[in-house]
């Protein structure tokens, strides 16, 4: 994108959205940021995510629930749409909160796609999730692997992904879907494992691990995800395609905890609990397609990225932070 263009970023106050917004602004791209401040974590933390963005004159913030209201003006002003807004979390998606997932993951996406259909000519980059695979038949998992979500969250993300591709097939909406694998880094949501582990490593509080800790994830650094999102917004061959975006780091929870113990220079108090409903044992992205068609090559591994997240937690509001040495 060029400095003369305008990007619409939904979920701009969230973890990935705020990083993407800053990346675009730093390159002179005008950004219209949309967020409804859903209640999955504190509004104050989301507002802090936007502090740097708001220092730029070419950033406009629009507080809006995408599932309601007229989105036409937003699309008219935008050259590209990055749709990151969602109701996140596997474990919270069971039970009475499922209606919230339907509204924020599926209905909001359909509403935005309707606006995109009425105002064609804009690339629509949709942030999907590795949760669409569930217990994948193959590891590493290519995009043509059957999707069998293992949680209500995964089911709503797959439905929204399918909805996006339906609008591409039926109306020619210029859609690209990225299946993001276990994104981590500074500003990660408070409920996510690495964020909780970093906080506990700083404070000395117990760390609760669901399962035996030998489960592995393909952890992907947030900066690499931002790069993939931006490339997907311009790559000509990407229209109508789905891509895995993974870091190539199949690391166990226990390995990550050992790294955190080194960074904190202390022994960690780890408590192992039963696996939670919706969790899967392993994830691993086959990124062959993204490498070939988007030129996607992740650049930050788990050890470096986790250190950055740990240092961010040290700087952002834990009273005991001063007792730990920096590296």
* Tens digit of each residue's pLDDT (9 = 90 or more) over 84-104: 999 998 988 999 889 999 999
pLDDT tops 50 at residue 326: no
pLDDT tens column, 166-179: 999 999 999 999 99
Concerning whether 263 is annotated as a catalytic residue, the answer is no
Report the relative pairing of strands 6-10 and 80-83 from DSSP bridges.
parallel
Provide the pairing of β-strand 183-184 with 30-35.
unpaired
- What is the DSSP secondary structure assignment for residue 88, as one 8-state letter? -
Question: What is the DSSP code (8-state) at residue 132?
Answer: G
Could you tell me where the beta strands, DSSP code E, fall in the chain?
Answer: 6-10, 30-35, 59-63, 80-83, 123-129, 174-180, 183-184, 207-210, 216-218, 220-221, 242-245, 250-252, 270-273
Buried b (16+ CB within 10 A) or exposed e, 68-102: eeebeebbeebbbbbbbbbbbbbebbeeeebebbb
Say whether pLDDT at 325 is over 90: no
The rounded distance, in Å, linking the Cα atoms of 307 and 208 is 20
Q: Comparing 16-20, 40-44, 52-56, 275-279, which segment has the lowest mean pLDDT? A: 40-44
Could you tell me the two tokens for 55? 């220092």
Residues 6+ apart with CB under 8 A from 11: 17, 34, 35, 83, 84, 85, 86, 127
Which tens digit of pLDDT belongs to each residue from 32-83?
999 998 887 888 999 999 999 999 999 999 999 999 888 999 999 999 999 9
Domains and CATH numbers, the chain: 6-184+222-246+284-298 (3.40.50.720)
Determine which of 61-65, 276-280, 298-302 has the lowest per-residue pLDDT on average: 276-280
Distance CA 325, CA 327 (A): 7
Per the residue annotation, which of 41, 101, 133, 153 is the catalytic one?
Answer: 153
Count of beta carbons in the 10 Å neighbourhood of residue 165: 18
Q: pTM of the entire structure?
A: 0.95
């Amino acid at each position: 994108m060029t400095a003369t263009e305008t990007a619409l970023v939904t979920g701009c106050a969230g973890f990935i959205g705020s990083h993407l917004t800053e990346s675009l602004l730093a390159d002179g791209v005008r950004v219209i940021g949309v967020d409804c401040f859903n209640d999955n974590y504190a509004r104050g933390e989301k507002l802090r995510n936007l502090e740097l963005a708001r220092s730029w004159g070419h950033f406009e913030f629009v507080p809006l629930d995408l599932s309601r209201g007229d989105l036409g003006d937003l699309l008219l002003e935008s050259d590209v749409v990055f749709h990151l807004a969602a109701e996140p979390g596997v474990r919270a998606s069971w039970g009475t909160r499922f209606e919230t997932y339907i509204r924020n993951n599926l209905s909001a996406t359909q509403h935005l796609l309707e606006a995109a259909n009425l105002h064609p000519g804009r690339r629509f980059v949709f942030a999907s999730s590795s949760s669409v695979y569930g217990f994948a038949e193959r590891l590493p998992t290519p995009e043509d692997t059957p999707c069998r979500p293992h949680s209500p969250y995964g089911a709503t993300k797959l439905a929204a992904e399918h909805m996006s591709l339906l609008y591409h097939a039926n109306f020619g909406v210029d859609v690209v879907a990225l299946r993001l694998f276990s994104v981590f880094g500074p500003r990660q949501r408070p409920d996510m494992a690495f964020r909780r582990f970093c906080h506990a490593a700083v404070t000395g509080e117990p760390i609760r691990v669901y399962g035996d800790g030998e489960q592995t994830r393909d952890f992907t650094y947030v900066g690499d995800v931002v790069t993939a999102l931006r490339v997907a917004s311009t790559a000509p061959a990407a229209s109508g395609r789905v891509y895995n975006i993974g870091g190539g780091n199949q690391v166990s929870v226990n390995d990550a905890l050992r790294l955190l113990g080194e960074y904190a220079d202390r022994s960690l108090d780890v408590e192992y609990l039963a696996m939670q409903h919706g969790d899967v044992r392993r994830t691993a992205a086959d990124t062959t397609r993204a490498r070939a068609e988007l030129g996607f090559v992740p650049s930050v591994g788990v050890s470096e990225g986790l250190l950055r997240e740990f240092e961010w937690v040290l700087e952002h509001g834990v009273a005991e932070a001063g007792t730990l040495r920096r590296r």
